[in-house]
Amino acid sequence: MARDAMDLQGNLSSKMLWQVIASVSAWKPKDVVDKELQKVRLQLLDVLSVYKKPTNATTAKFKTGQSGKTNSEEASCTQFVLKLSEVLDLDAAQCNDLLSLYLLYEYRGSQDEFKNILSDERHSRILLVEIWHYYHNERLYLLRCLKHLLSYCSDTSHPYHSSYQKCIAELTNDKNKFILSVVDQYETACLATLPGASSSEADLVEKLGFQWMVYNLKEQLESLQIVLLYYREKDMTPEMFLRLLSLFKKQGFSRRQINRHLLDQSVEPFVKALAHMQVVLLLKAIDLEWLFQCQQQDSEPKDYYLLASEDVWKKANNSMGTLGEVREHGAVLLAWALVHHVTQGAKGAITSRKLGNMALQCDVFEYVHDLLTSPLLSGKMVVAAYAKSVVYSLVQVLLECFHEESLGNMDTLFSIGCEVFKIPGIAHNMWEVGLDRGAGLLLTSASQLFPLDGRPALNLCAALASASPFSAGKVVSYLHSMTGFSEYLELIPSSGLEDCAEAAKLLQAARYPYQTESFVIPGRTLGVCFNAAHGTGIRWQCDVNGWQVCLCEVHAMLAQTAGWLGEPCVETVLAVGRVVHSVLQSDRGRVDDLSDLTEMLIDLLQRLSQISHPPLKLLAECLQVAADVASVYPAQVWEKVSQSGLLPTAEVGEDALQQIIRGSSSRQSALDGIIVGFEGQSGDYSVTLGFLELLKHTAPALCELHASKHRPSLLASLVFMMREVFGSFHKWRYVDSNQRQQIGLRCLEIFHKILSLDGEAESVVQKACVEGLLFSDAGSTLLSVVAVGADEVQLALEQQTSWTEGTGVELIHLVRLGLSVLNRLLLLKPTSRTASPVELALCTQPPNKQQLHVTATIVQYIYHRYDARLPTLAALLLKRVAVVFPMSLLACLGNSAVAIRDVYVTRLQFSAEDIRLKIAILELLSTCVETQPGLTELFLNLSENEPGKNKGFTLGKFSCLHAVVDIIQTNKQKWPAELQRAAVEYIAALWIGRNDTAMNVLRERKSFWLDLSSCLFMDSVADNVRTCAFVMRIIAAELYNVQSYDKLDKELYEVLKSLIKADRLSFWSKFLQRNTDGMEQEGRTADLCPLLLLTAWRELLLILAQEECLQLPESMKVSLLTQVLDAVRAQLLGDRESTVLKILSEIVLRLVVRWSRHPSCRRAVIAKFGGILHELRVNAGLLHPRIQLNLLATMATIINDAERQREAGKKQQFVDMMSDVCALLQYNMRHGDSSDIFTKLKTVNICLLKKLITFVDEMSDAWVSALQEHAILPALLAVAAHGMTRHETVEQVQAIMELFLSLCSNTRAASSLAVSGLTEQLCLPLITCYSHADHLQEVVISAVIHTRYSELLHWTKKIYILVFQFEVRAYVLLVR
C-alpha cells in the first residue's frame, strides 16, 4: 500500500518545494529554505530525468516488495499503483511515492473514502486522472523551482540570495553537465509521444492526449526559460549555439510540433510563447551586447566567440541562410546581419544587407513588438525583464550601426523603445550611455519632431519615467531643457521669414506659436526645414521648456469652444497626460513641480464631460492624473473634479443616507452616460478604471480629514460605484478580460480602505458602505467573488503562461480582498439591524441542492496551496462567521467534513507551512470551542480506549492536539512567538470551556505542564505577553476546577512550587507594575496584550490567594500586596486609566480580604493607603465609582481586622486618613447620581467613616473637626431625610443612622448634630416610618433594649428604631 501520508511530512512535493523557496505569500525562515534546498540538490541536478521509466526488473522488484501484504485493501492499492505506472510510464516505486504525496497534499477525501474508491472501477479511473494531472504538474513545478533559483541567484537584494547562489553553484560546478541535462530534456520533450498509449487504460490515455500536449508545451517553455537564465551569467559555447539553432529550425520555431495533431487553437498562446523564447534565446546566443561594446571601441572583433572556429562560422552561416520563411526568423536574421556588419567589415556588407532585407520582409520590428507585448514577456518577471534587455541590446547595436532614418517607418521602433525603457536597469543604462549613442538615439530622433508630432517623444519619456524615480527625474530635466521646436512651415507668414541657406530660414521677429504669450520663439532664431508627414516642417534651433509646451498644448484644447476635438490635438494631450501620470506614479514628490500642468489636466475634465462623444482615452488619462495628485491633495482634487459635472451628485435631505443608498437622491451624471452609452458598447472601461482609481485615493483620505462639505458628493460617488459598477461589472462584455479583474480589485480596495477606518474617522461614509454592501446587489457580487472556489482559482493559474503573473494571480488577489471585506463587513454590521441577504446566504442552505454552500466554498480554500494568504483569510472569515451566526459549520460541510478536517490538520502539522495560516487555523479552533461544539469534537478526534485498557481517550491520527502539543514543546525547534501564542490560546479555550475529555488527554501527556508554563520562567517576555496571559488563565482555571491538593496534578504542583521558589510571582507583579502606564492606549494597537495579561494575572493571583492547593510565604504576600498598591498609586498619579484601575483595585480588595489577618500584610496596606486615599480624593471626579468602591471597601476591611486584633498603636495613621475620607464623602454626596453604583459607593463611604470614628473614638478632636470642616453632618441629614421620605436607599439611610448613633457617644459630636438641624430634618420624614402602630411600640422597645435588628420585618421599622435609638442616646448625652 502507499506509504502513510502523515509519515511523508518530511518529503516535499515539487509544488510544495516551489512554494517554500519562492515564498509566494510570506518569507520563510532562511534556515528552512537552506534545509529544503539541501534535501533536493540531487533532484534539481537531474531535473526531469529524476523520473524513471518502468522496466521489467523494477516492476518485478516492486511486486516482490508488496507480496507480503495480503490485506485486500493493500492488494488493491498495489494493483492501482501498477496501473498508474502503466498510464504515466513511470517506475512503480516512484508511482507509489507519488500516490502517497498526492494523498498528503492534494487528495480531497478521507481515508475511508480512498479505500472505497480503490474498490470501485469507475471511481478509481477518476482518481487515476487526478493523479495523472498531479504528476505532470509536479514535473512543471520542478522546472519552476530551477527557474526561480536561477532568476534570483545573482540578485543581492533578495533575502535568499546566498542560499540560491550556493545551490546554483553546487548544481553547475561540474562544467556543462547541468545545462546539457536541461537541453537534453528539452529535446526529449520535443520528440516525446503520448505515454501510456499501449497500456490497459489506452482509451483513458487517448482522452488525455490534448491535455498531455499542453503539459508538454509548458515543459518545453519552462526548459527554454531555464536555459536563457543560465546563460544570463555564463558564456554559451559555439557548439551549444549550433545545437539550439538546429533544434529550433527542426521544430519550425515551435510550429512543427511532432504531436501537433493533438492541438487546437486554444493552445496558440503557448505555441507563440515558445517561439518567442526560442527567438530571444538565439538573440542572446549571438551576444549582441558584445557587438555593441565592440562597435563603441571601434576595434577589430577578433575575439567574437563564433569566429573562433572556421567550421563553426561556416555552419552558422549555412543555417542562417536557410531562414526567412516565417516571421519568427526576422529578429534572428537581423541580429546575424549585425554580426556580419560588425565582425566582417566591408566584406560582410553584401551579406549584411541581404540578411537585413530578409529580416524586413519578415516584418521584424512588428514581430519584436508583438514579442515584447506578449503575456509571457510583458510582465515584471526576471525572464521578461531579461528578454527585454536582450531586445534592448539588439536596438543598441542596430542604431549604432545604421542611421534611424534608413530603417523605414520609425513608429514601430518607437513602440519597441516604449516597451524596453520601462525596465529600470535598461532606463538607467540608456541615460548612462547618453542620447547620442545606441538606444538613446530613439529619444533624440523622436524629439526632432516635438511638438509637431509630440507623441513619439512624449511616449518614450512616459516609458522612461515609469521605470524608476531616478529615471523620472531625468525625464523632468530633459523636457525642461529641450533644444528645438518643430512646427509646420505653412503656419508661419512668409514675410516673417528670411532665407539663409538651403533648407534654412531665419525668424525675423519673435513668434508666439500658441494663443498665449507664455511661450515665445525669440526673433533671429534659425530654423531648418524638413519633410513632415503632412507637408514641410521647420525646426527652430532654440532652447525650449518642454513642460511649457505641454502646458500650451493642453491650454489650446481648453480654449476650443466647439464640441468636436481634432484627433492630433487629442493624441498630443493624451501623450502629455501619460508623461505626467508616469512621473507622478514613480515619484509623488513631483506633484508640486508639475502643479500647473496637473491643474490644467484636471480642469480639462469639465471640458471633456460636456462633449456628446468625448475622447474616452484622454478622459481616462485625466482621471488617472487626478488620482495621482489626490494621493497628496485629496480634498482639493475632489472639489475640482466634483465641480466638473462628471461625477454623480445627490440632494441631501433629513434621511440623506437612506436616500443615497437607495439611489433615489442621486442625479444623472456624465459618468453614468459614458459607462452605459460608450464603454458598455465598446467593451473598454478605461474611464471606469480611472474613476475607481480617483475614488480609491480620495474616499478614505476625505473620511480621515472629516471633510463634511464633500460628504454628499463622496456618498453619491460611493453608492454609484456600489450599485452601478460593482453590482454589475461581472455581467459586462470586455474586450480585455483583464479589465474585469482590475475593476473588481479596485472596488474591493476602496471598500477595504473605508471599512478599515478607525472609529475617529468619518463614520457616515463607512455606514453607507456597510449598508450598501449588505442590502443591495453589491452584496450578491461580493458573495460571488468570495465563492469563486479553489477549483476555479487553480484552473485560472494553469491557464497562465507564467505562474507568477496573469489572470490567475489577479483572481487570487480579488478573492483575498473579497474575504477580507466580508470579514470587516460582518464585524461592523449594526446588531440592531435585521439579517441582511448577505448574512442569510452565509447561514442558510442554498435553494439549489446541487449548489455548494457559500460557507463550504470558503472552507475549501484550505485546498489552495499557491498563495497561503488565501486560506488564511478564509480561516479568519470562518472565525468571524462562527462568532456572528448561531449555526453549525459542521452541518455546512456535509459529507466532506472529515476530509476537510484532515487537510486542516495536515497543514497545521506541516513544518514548512506558512506561519500565518497555522495561526489562523488555531484561532478558528479556539473560537469554535465556545460556539461550534460539533466542529471542535471533529478536530479533537478523540476515541475512547478499547475495553480492557485504561479508561480514557486517545488521540486519533488527525487530531489537532498533535500539532498543538508539538508547538508548545520546549525541546523541539523554536516556533515563532505568535504561533505559540495561538496554540496556548486554543488550550486556554479548552480549559475555560471545560472540555474535560481534551483536558484529561492533555494532562496525561508527559511534560505538558512544564512545556506549557515554560514562558512564565523567561526573563525576556516582550514577545510572549499574550502567551503568558493565556498560560496564567489555564493554570488559574485548573486550580479553580481542582480546589484541593489531593486532586492537583503533581507536575503542575511542582511548576507552582518552582514559580514560588524562583520568585516569579514577584517578577510578574513588578513587570505589570512597570507596564500599567499607557496600557489601554497600547492595547488598541497591540491587540490588548498588556490588559489581557493584567486580567489573567488577577485570575491567577486571586486563585492562589485562596491557598487551597498551595501555601504562599507571608513575605511573598507582603511583597505582592505592596507591588499592587504601588501600581494603584502610580496609576492615580499618572494616566488614571479606568479599566486598569478597576482591575488593580479589585485585586487589592480581594487580596486584603484573604490576607489581612496577617499583621505584616495589614501594616503594609496601612503604610501605603494614606497616599492612595489622598490621590483618590484629588482625582475623584476623574475616576470610575467602582474604583473608589473597591479601595474604600479595602480600607474598611483593614479597620475591621485591626479592631479584631486590637491594634491601638496605629490609630494616628487612621486619624490622618479622616480628612480624605470626609472629603471623598462630601464630593460623592454633591456630585454622585442616584444610580446603584453611586448609592453603594456612598453607603460604603459612610460605613468607612463610621468605622474610622469608632476605631479612633478617643481622638475625637481630630475627627470632629474633619466632620465640621467638610460639612458632613448637614449633608448626611439631608440625604437621610430624602431617603425616608421616598422610602429609597434603605442601606444608605441605615448606614447614616448607625453613623449618627456612633457619634452620640461623643459630646462634641452630639452637639454638632443638634445644631445641624437634626430635629428639623428628621421629624417630618420620621412620620412616614410609622406602620402597624399597635405592634410597633413593643417591637421598637425590644429592639432598643436587645439591639436585635434582624427581627424587624420592614425596612421602615429598622430606620424608625435606629432613629429612636439615636434620639434616646442624643437626649441622654445632652442632658448630661
Between 330 and 1343, the higher pLDDT residue: 330
Proportion of the chain in helix, strand, coil states, percent, rounded to 5 = 70, 5, 25
Residue 543, strand partner residues: 483
Instruction: Let me know the angle formed at the C-alpha of 309 by 303 and 311, rounded to the nearest 5 degrees.
Output: 150
Spatial distance between the Cα atoms of 269 and 370, rounded to a whole number of angstroms: 12
Report whether pLDDT(149) > 50: yes
pLDDT for res 992: 92
Task: Classify residue 830 by its DSSP letter.
Answer: -
CA 678 to CA 670: how far, in whole Å?
A: 11
Grouping H, G, I as helix, E, B as strand and the rest as coil, residue 664 is coil
Q: Quick one: pLDDT at residue 807?
A: 86
Task: Say whether pTM exceeds 0.85.
Answer: yes
What is the reported pLDDT for 726?
93
**Cα–Cα distances in Å, from 1221 out to 225, 346, 1129, 1279?**
84, 110, 17, 18
Averaged pLDDT for residues 3-23: 70
Q: Point out the least confidently predicted range of 144-153, 690-699, 1284-1293.
A: 1284-1293
Contact between 737 and 684 (Cβ < 8 Å): no
- Give the strand pairing for 535-544 and 504-507: unpaired
State mean pLDDT over 1176-1190. Answer: 86
pLDDT recorded at residue 1134: 78
**pLDDT at 1085 exceeding the cut of 70:** no
Distance CA 1049, CA 1003 (A): 8
Cell numbers of 691, please? 474613476
Cα(916)–Cα(911) distance, rounded to whole angstroms? 13
Rounded distance, CA 439 to CA 430, Å?
7
**Mean pLDDT value of segment 1218-1239:** 84
For 407-452, what is each residue's pLDDT tens digit?
878 899 999 999 999 999 999 999 999 998 889 999 999 999 999 9
Query: Residue 514 corresponds to which amino acid?
Result: Y
3-class secondary-structure state, position 482: strand
> pLDDT digit string (tens) for 478-494?
999 999 999 999 888 88
> Of the ranges 419-428, 1083-1092, 1132-1141, 1144-1153, which one carries the lowest mean pLDDT score?
1083-1092
Write the CB contacts of 483 (distance below 8 Å, at least 6 apart in sequence).
541, 542, 543, 544
Report pLDDT for 299.
Answer: 55
Cell numbers for 444, please give them.
Answer: 533624440
**Rounded distance, CA 7 to CA 11, Å?**
9
Q: Running DSSP on this structure, what letter comes out for residue 675?
A: I
* Better-predicted residue by pLDDT, 944 or 1351: 944
Q: Tell me the C-alpha to C-alpha distance, in Å, between residue 177 and each of 46, 180, 224, 814.
A: 10, 5, 16, 43
The torsion angles phi and psi of 732, rounded to 5 degrees, stand at -75, 160
Residue 848 scores a pLDDT above 70: no
Backbone phi, psi, residue 89, to 5°: 55, 50
Task: From residue 152, give the alpha-carbon distance in Å to each of 75, 168, 172, 384.
Answer: 46, 10, 15, 13
1078 Rama class: left (phi>0) / alpha (psi -120 to 50) / beta:
left
pLDDT digits (tens, 9 = 90+) for 352-402: 899 999 999 999 999 999 999 998 888 888 999 999 999 999 999 999 888
How far is it, in rounded angstroms, from Cα 999 to Cα 540? 89
Comparing 735-749, 1006-1020, 1248-1262, the range with the smallest average pLDDT is 1248-1262
Determine the pLDDT at residue 1368.
56
Q: Which residues, other chains included, contact 1017 with Cβ-Cβ below 8 Å and sequence gap of 6+?
A: 1058, 1059, 1062, 1064
Q: Does residue 18 carry a pLDDT above 80?
A: yes
Mean pLDDT, residues 1102-1108 taken together: 82
Q: Residues for the chain: how many in total? A: 1376
Nearest partner of 195 among 269, 274, 135, judged by Cα: 135
Nearest in space to 540 (alpha carbons), one of 485, 590, 610, 459: 485
- Looking up cell 514560588, which residue turns up? 1060
Q: What is the pLDDT of residue 298?
A: 58
pLDDT value at position 262?
A: 80
The confidence band for 1302, taking pLDDT boundaries of 50, 70 and 90, is confident
| Average pLDDT value for residue range 1268-1277 | 83
pLDDT top residue among 260 and 186: 186
Residue 157, judged by CB atoms within 10 A of its CB (0-12, 13-18, 19+), counts as exposed
Query: pLDDT per residue over 999-1029, tens digit each?
Result: 989 988 888 999 999 988 888 887 888 899 9
Angle between helices 382-401 and 440-447 (to 10 degrees): 60
Least confident of 468-472, 892-896, 1205-1209: 1205-1209
Output the pLDDT for position 123.
87
Task: Express each pLDDT in 887-935 by its tens digit.
Answer: 788 888 888 899 999 999 999 998 888 899 999 999 999 999 988 889 9
The C-alpha atoms of residue 707 and residue 75 are separated, in whole angstroms, by: 74
Q: Per DSSP, what are the bridge partners of residue 1208?
A: none
The pLDDT value given to residue 254: 86
Q: What Rg, from alpha-carbon coordinates, does the chain have? A: 42
What secondary structure does DSSP assign to 657-719, as a single string?
HHHHHHTTTBPP-HHHHHIIIIIHHHS--HHHHHHHHHHHHHHHHHHHTT-GGGHHHHHHHHH
Give the pLDDT of residue 1334: 47
What residues form DSSP beta bridges with 535?
532
pLDDT value at residue 292: 85
Sequence-ordered strand ranges (E) for 187-341: none
Instruction: Tell me how far apart the alpha carbons of residues 148 and 15 are, in angstroms, rounded to a whole number.
Output: 13
* Peptide bond connecting 886 to the previous residue in cis, omega within 30 degrees of 0: no
Residue 690: predicted pLDDT: 95
Taking phi over 0 as left and psi of -120 to 50 as alpha, with beta for the rest, 1317 belongs to left
β-bridge partners, 505:
499, 527
| 3-class SS of residue 1051 | helix
Asked if 83 contacts 75 with a C-beta cutoff of 8 angstroms, the reply is no
DSSP secondary structure string, 962-1020?
HHHHHHH-TTS----HHHHHHHHHHHHHHHHTT-HHHHHHHHTSTTHHHHHGGGGG-S-
Pairwise CA distance, residues 235 & 877, whole Å: 52
Among 1053, 1062, 1191, which Cα is nearest to 1116's?
A: 1062
Rounded to 10 degrees, what is the CA torsion of 692, 697, 703, 708?
-80
Q: Please give the average per-residue pLDDT across 1086-1095, as a whole number.
A: 73
**Lookup result for grid cell 512550587:** 1057
